[in-house]
Amino acid sequence: MQKETLCLGLLSLGPRSGYEIKQMFEGPLSDFYSLSFGTIYPTLNNLQADKYVSCKQHSQSKKPDKKVYTITKKGMELMKDNLLSDASSYIRSGNFGDQIKSEFFLLLLFSKYLPKETMNTVLNERVLYLRQKLEQFKYDGPVPGNLDAIRNEKSVSFIRGLASALIETGLNYMEKNRGKLN
Amino acid sequence: MQKETLCLGLLSLGPRSGYEIKQMFEGPLSDFYSLSFGTIYPTLNNLQADKYVSCKQHSQSKKPDKKVYTITKKGMELMKDNLLSDASSYIRSGNFGDQIKSEFFLLLLFSKYLPKETMNTVLNERVLYLRQKLEQFKYDGPVPGNLDAIRNEKSVSFIRGLASALIETGLNYMEKNRGKLN
DNA sequence: GATTATATATATCATTCTGATATATATACG
DNA sequence: CGTATATATATCAGAATGATATATATAATC
């Protein structure tokens, strides 16, 4: 997805600074996508130059100014147009669509070159890690600051449910079939 | 995973050309990882310069020479060392580990900005696509050329089984819960 | 009360990687 | 006989990351 469309989409949930957009990528979106500061800040500057977002500078005594961006009508239109024209190309992506770039799967692929104890530890830690992830996805309590804007989206419940189901399947499979790796 | 380790790992399954390594990424590995020609060819050249692989040039009358690379003892050692020292960092990656970069999930996130008919078509095509993927993963018949080297790995059976289970879960979830997106 | 670590906030850039393009030939298909 | 696809390597502009720089506030630790 184009970085512009993505930033506009996140701003459609409410006005935000670049730093707060990054927080969304590190929080609720961390398992699905991410953009770096080096992408976010230039993108916001370009969007502002082209009037897709407006910017209010909140000067905070001696911290650097907090630049809060708001999506404009023109920006909403661009976002919707882009989503519509690119929708079909995203059908073949993500979870067993296009490239997943799974380092873990690659490690499994070459597991025969690792000592058995090492692979045992790795698999144990993977299981622990996935259990932890599962709890995160199932957690329904309060979230800090403006991160609840994204949590309350209907689509986010759908995605979280899907993610939980996938992790559970992965955990069950790993526990039942790990013997087959030796 | 470092591109060097990855290329060495694939060469550990047997001697191959850069083109054939690319074929592995587009075939059996396409859902887990990929490297472009722009990465593969320079990497092989560097590995050769440092004696981690050797190269035999098969001149083919008027086609460009086919450069077949073979992993050396030194290369096997580097690969194993790298795998061992990086193993723990791969535990938190892939399927709900690190970044999945799922364009499809992002599209769902912004689905409220798309017309209902469009989302309906998108979800239908996604289901068809996943069914097709599932068949691919379950297919156990013959594969062309030297691609069976990777298919016959024990770890590959494990990964394919896991992938099938995950896709099935995703399909079931989508079919049961797609109403919740409206 | 001093120090250390972490959080807020933006900006920049070298390095890395991709996706596209270039080049050249062979083969299959109708 | 032309057209599309496959084989095969190489290169490079453009994009994105990860790291680093800068500056301050706040919380935790000792």
Q: Does residue B78 sit in the same domain as residue B112?
A: no
Q: Does residue A121 sit in the same domain as residue A48?
A: no
What pLDDT does A169 receive? 96
Q: Does residue A140 sit in the same domain as residue A87?
A: no
Could you tell me the CATH number of the domain that includes residue A44? 1.10.10.10
Provide CB contacts within 8 A for A3, sequence distance 6+.
A35, A39, A40, A43
pLDDT band at A101 (very low <50, low <70, confident <90, very high): confident
Q: Does residue B84 sit in the same domain as residue B54?
A: yes
DSSP 3-state assignment of B101?
Answer: coil
B31 touches chain A (CB under 8 A): yes
Answer yes or no: are the C-beta atoms of A26 and A107 closer than 8 Å: no
The token pair at A159 is 């995605």
The rounded distance, in Å, linking the Cα atoms of B155 and A29 is 30
A61 is near strand D: CB distance < 7 Å: yes
CB atoms within 10 A of CB A36: 9
pLDDT tens by residue, B98-141: 667 788 999 999 999 999 999 999 999 999 999 999 998 898 87
Q: Does residue B95 sit in the same domain as residue B14?
A: yes
| Residue that is last in its domain, among A56, A74, A95 | A95
Average pLDDT over residues A89-109: 83
| Residue that is last in its domain, among A78, A95, A112 | A95
Provide CB contacts within 8 A for A24, sequence distance 6+.
A10, A16, A147, A150
Average pLDDT over residues A56-74: 82
pLDDT tens by residue, A121-166: 999 999 999 999 899 889 888 777 778 888 888 999 999 999 999 9
pLDDT tens by residue, B36-47: 999 999 999 999
pLDDT tens by residue, B49-67: 999 999 998 876 556 678 9
Q: Which domain holds residue A71?
A: 1-95
The rounded distance, in Å, linking the Cα atoms of B20 and B147 is 9
B37 is near strand C: CB distance < 7 Å: yes
Q: Chain A partners of B31 at a C-beta cutoff of 8 Å?
A: 96-100
Q: Does residue A119 sit in the same domain as residue A57?
A: no
Q: Does residue B34 sit in the same domain as residue B112?
A: no
What pLDDT does A89 receive? 86
Q: Does residue B4 sit in the same domain as residue B94?
A: yes
The token pair at B42 is 């320079």
Residue with CA nearest D19 C1'?
A: A38
**H or E stretch covering B40:** helix B37-49
Answer yes or no: are the C-beta atoms of A157 and B182 closer than 8 Å: no
For chain A, the domain total comes to 2
The token pair at B10 is 């694939």
Proportion of chain B above pLDDT 70, given as a percent:
95
Q: Does residue B164 sit in the same domain as residue B121?
A: yes
Average pLDDT over residues A40-58: 95
What pLDDT does A37 receive? 96
Chain B residues 96-155 within an 8 A CB cutoff of chain A: 96-115, 118, 122, 125-126, 129-130, 133, 137, 153-155
Answer yes or no: are the C-beta atoms of B17 and B67 closer than 8 Å: yes
DSSP 3-state assignment of A52?
Answer: coil
pLDDT greater than 60 at residue A70: yes
pLDDT greater than 80 at residue B179: yes
| Residue that is last in its domain, among A66, A95, A124 | A95
Residue by residue, DSSP assigns A88-123 as GGGTT-STTSS----HHHHHHHTGGGS-HHHHHHHH
Provide CB contacts within 8 A for B79, sequence distance 6+.
A110, A113, B5, B8, B9, B12, B71
pLDDT band at B162 (very low <50, low <70, confident <90, very high): very high
A176 touches chain B (CB under 8 A): no
pLDDT band at A56 (very low <50, low <70, confident <90, very high): very high
pLDDT greater than 90 at residue B97: no
B38 is near strand D: CB distance < 7 Å: yes
pLDDT greater than 60 at residue A85: yes
